[in-house]
Amino acid sequence: MSRTFFVGIDLAWGYRRPDGVCVMESKGSQVVLREITLSQGDQALLSTLEGYRSSGACLVAMDAPVICPNTSGARPVDRVASKWFASYKCGCYPANRSQHPRPPDLARKITQLGFSLNPSAKHSLFEVYPHPTMVRWFGLCLLYTSPSPRDRQKSRMPSSA
């Protein structure tokens, strides 16, 4: 029976914080959770991916740019997505290689492991942007801002129920 692994990477765009990794495996008509973990640094993440790639088909979804040819500014796709979802306060970071080199560098390292940017390949890597998906599918609008001191104070107060 062939095995297929689905790996989701919540990438920390820098090196100080760990990356979130979730791995699921198809088992017949079901998908089962294999692993949820934090991974610190590129080498640890690459080792995890190599382990699953060598055990079966492996599809990797990363919430960061896998193709980023521009050295400054924003990619055209980021500008379009930000325009489409502006009313939801859901925009893309201006991804470029000079300010955020880790995502495209890591994507290059992942392809060197044998992953393809072709989504129909046995081992593939592709970019996802979860926030617009949550807006469109579930009607959720998550604001990525730090709470104000007043809001933090409110969250510490016991509720009167």
Which pLDDT does position 85 carry in this prediction? 84
Q: What confidence category does residue 32 fall into, taking pLDDT thresholds of 50, 70 and 90?
A: very high
Place of tokens 């400054």: 72
Which pLDDT does position 129 carry in this prediction? 86
Which of the 8 DSSP states describes residue 27? E
**What is the bridge-based pairing of β-strands 57-62 and 30-39?**
unpaired
pLDDT in tens, 48-76: 999 999 999 999 999 999 999 999 999 99
Cβ–Cβ under 8 Å, residues 118 and 60: no
Q: Would you call 69 exposed, middle or buried from its count of C-beta atoms within 10 A (0-12, 13-18, 19+)?
A: exposed
